[in-house]
Amino acid sequence: MKSVTTYENEKVLVLGLAKSGVSAAKLLHQLGAIVTVNDAKKFEDNPEAQELLELGIRVVTGGHPVELLDEDFSLLVKNPGIPYTNPILEKAMEQGVPIMTEVELSYQVSEAPIIGITGTNGKTTTTTMIGKVLNQGEETPKAYLSGNIGIPASEVCQKVSQKDLLVMELSSFQLLGIDSFHPHIAVITNLYEAHLDYHGTREEYVKAKWRIQQNMTEKDYLVINANQEELRELSKQTKATVIPFCTNGWSEQGAYELGGELFYQQEKIMSVSDLGVVGQHNVENALAAIVVAKLNHTANASIKEALSTFTGVPHRTEYLGMSQGRKFYNDSKATNILATEKALSGFDNTKVILLAGGLDRGNSFEELEPSLAGLKGLVVFGETQDKLITAGHHVQLPFMKKVNTMEEAVQVAVDYSQSGDTILLSPACASWDQYPNFEIRGDRFRQAVEKIMKEMSL
């Protein structure tokens, strides 16, 4: 960790805890700052705040009193999920108090070069792929994962050296709070419309994502998805050296898919069929990882070994195993139509029984119908089950069934399927009608699959 004296005896307010807030508060305390932590959760229900208090850090809990800003803070470090419309943030902006997220703090103290990954879809998978590839061969430095993937960057940055790499997943929320943040390599997986409730407009959302490259120079590398015209146009505005990846033909400078093979410039790296995960979206993710690996001089054999043994991130088209010829995949992270479309693109629909449904946000599923066409079966649950059944009728699916629980959904799918089929959970909906989050929904699916696979093996 770099020796940083910037924060000595400076009054800093950390707004919002969770993992990143706790980590940022501890780091600032270690750097000599006079830290106050403010979190909405009550102190008696707040073990994180209790832990920080024991370390000698001041905590204010049970709400966000605007009066805190009367204390002349020189910096505010915010939890990424707290919107800038929060009264404390609005007052801080009025007073000219700098506001940043903990990834900016992490950059300031990290000795290791940073590889930053952002985008609408595929961030976590691509980040994990990159980490696996970079750590595969002995010829590469140690790569540490951090950021939006669930590992606070302000924690990891303290243990990395100049010989290591800090691989950081970055959300649009985090990128809004950067200033000097400067990755050596940045990856933008794709751009679609998202988080408009936070950013207000698609334009503001894209601006937030594009901030990843704002401090990059011609000595740095910006890796973009050249399948998207929007990113091709944006890339003309950066000072960084642009390296594209695409799935629609040859690319002189970057990585590409051609005839079922993956290349980097003139070199064949591996076949698409050798990837450990399925779906066209995962081909794009793998190409991004290949570019980063080649920029770090990773051997082709190491790249192929890593990507062929990568079986996915939990809840993201995660392969759970096979029993009596049936394969099971957990894609609970598919909380919108686009994600389910991408998941289905990796399979032969005629052999897929899809499990879908969840929170009703008022939309129909007409957009999903082309991807549903040809499915062997559709098992639906949650608030949207009737809408999904209607969509299934529109494309004349041969088998559809409404169920109440995940366990029932898995049993119905297994009973209807046969050897060679795939049972895929890809809900196309948020989980909040039945589950606290998509992770718990995916865990319930995994548990149901493990139970039934055990029964099938008897």
Distance CA 264, CA 258 (A): 11
Looking at the DSSP bridge assignments, the partners of residue 322 are 327
H/E/C letters for each residue in the chain?
CCCCCCCCCCEEEEECCHHHHHHHHHHHHHCCCEEEEEECCCHHHCHHHHHHHHCCCEEEECCCCHHHHHHCCCEEEECCCCCCCCHHHHHHHHHCCCEECHHHHHHHHCCCCEEEEECCCCHHHHHHHHHHHHCCCCCCCCEEEEECCCECHHHHCCCCCCCCEEEEECCHHHHCCCCCCCCCEEEECCCCCCCHHHHCCHHHHHHHHHHHHCCCCCCCEEEEECCCHHHHHHHHHCCCEEEEEECCCCCCCCEEEECCEEEECCEEEEEHHHCCCCCHHHHHHHHHHHHHHHHCCCCHHHHHHHHHCCCCECCECEEEEEECCEEEEECCCCCCHHHHHHHHCCCCHHHEEEEECCCCCCCCCHHHHHHHCCCCEEEECCCCHHHHHHHHHHCCCCCEEECCCHHHHHHHHHHHCCCCCEEEECCCCCCCCCCCCHHHHHHHHHHHHHHHHHHHHC
Distance CA 45, CA 61 (A): 10
Please tell me whether 122 is known to bind a ligand.
yes
Please tell me whether 11 is known to bind a ligand.
no
Please tell me whether 121 is known to bind a ligand.
yes
Please tell me whether 124 is known to bind a ligand.
yes
Cα 59 to Cα 3, 17, 48, 62: the distances in Å are: 26, 10, 10, 10
Please tell me whether 123 is known to bind a ligand.
yes
Please tell me whether 118 is known to bind a ligand.
no
Query: Are the CB atoms for 132 and 306 separated by under 8 Å?
Result: yes
Nearest Cα residue to 143 out of 162, 167, 125? 167
Distance CA 349, CA 424 (A): 11
Query: Are the CB atoms for 399 and 407 separated by under 8 Å?
Result: no
Cα 38 to Cα 20, 22, 30, 110, 176: the distances in Å are: 13, 11, 18, 25, 20
Q: Which residues are annotated as a binding site for ATP?
A: 119-125
Residues annotated within the binding site are 119-125
